[in-house]
Amino acid sequence: MSPRQAFMVVPLDRDRHQRQSFVCGNATLDRYLAQQAGQDLSRGVAAVFVATRPGEMTVVGYYTLSQASVLLGALPLAQQKRLPRYPVVPVTLLGRLAVHHALHGQGLGALLLGDAYRRVAVVAHEVASTGILVDAIDETAAQFYARFGFVTVADSPRRLFLPMPMVRTAR
């Protein structure tokens, strides 16, 4: 069974989704889901999406999205050339993405990323975004995003960007 059939991705329901048993192997990401995600959702700081098995409420993966901006000069040169010379341009921030450690390597991360692409592409028709920006939590995460076409931004090897045309074609 493919991850697309085995899991569903929905907005976090802070009262119904079971988050406390989530363990991805990174304490910061685990703690965020258990303690902060619901607050960020309530405060409008981040939209939180969770993966569960159909009919279950236990979270096995998640990601967050929010609107952000970035200095035009921080984007890769190829992207700068395609954009107007505004000092700051809008992006969508993929703030966090994590998969339960028992499911690593089974395609759930790619499924979550694809779901994020779909949501970002739909919203970008009404709220401008030049692409997806991510601050990878570690080198392994940076390599994960690079496999999906994200490119390094400015002087930060863990800040990566995927331009909107690629987001739209990859979904």
Q: What is the DSSP letter of 73?
A: G
d(CA 121, CA 171): 8
| pLDDT above 80 for 5 | no
Residue-wise pLDDT for 76-127, tens only, equals 888 899 989 999 999 999 999 999 999 999 999 999 999 999 999 999 999 9
- What one-character-per-residue DSSP string does 104-150 give? TTTTHHHHHHHHHHHHHHHHTTTS--SEEEEE-SSHHHHHHHHHTT-
Cβ(8)–Cβ(54) below 8 Å: yes
Q: Which residue has the tokens 């700081």?
A: 45
At 11, phi and psi to the nearest 5? -60, 145
Q: Is the pLDDT reported for residue 49 higher than 70?
A: yes
Residue 167 pLDDT grade (very low, low, confident, very high; cuts 50, 70, 90): very high
Q: How far apart are CA 96 and CA 64, in angstroms?
A: 5
pTM over 0.75: yes
CA 170/CA 86 separation, integer angstroms: 27
Cβ contacts of residue 32 below 8 Å, gap of 6+?
96
pLDDT in tens, 132-161: 999 999 999 999 999 999 999 877 889 999
Contacts of 67 (CB under 8 A, 6+ apart): 90, 91, 92, 93, 127, 129
Q: Across-strand partners of 47?
A: 65
Per-residue confidence (pLDDT) for residue 145, from 0 to 100:
97
Q: In terms of C-beta density within 10 A (0-12 exposed, 13-18 middle, 19 or more buried), how is residue 87 classed? A: exposed
* Cβ contact 160:136 at 8 Å: yes
Task: Name the least confident of 71-75, 106-110, 167-171.
Answer: 167-171
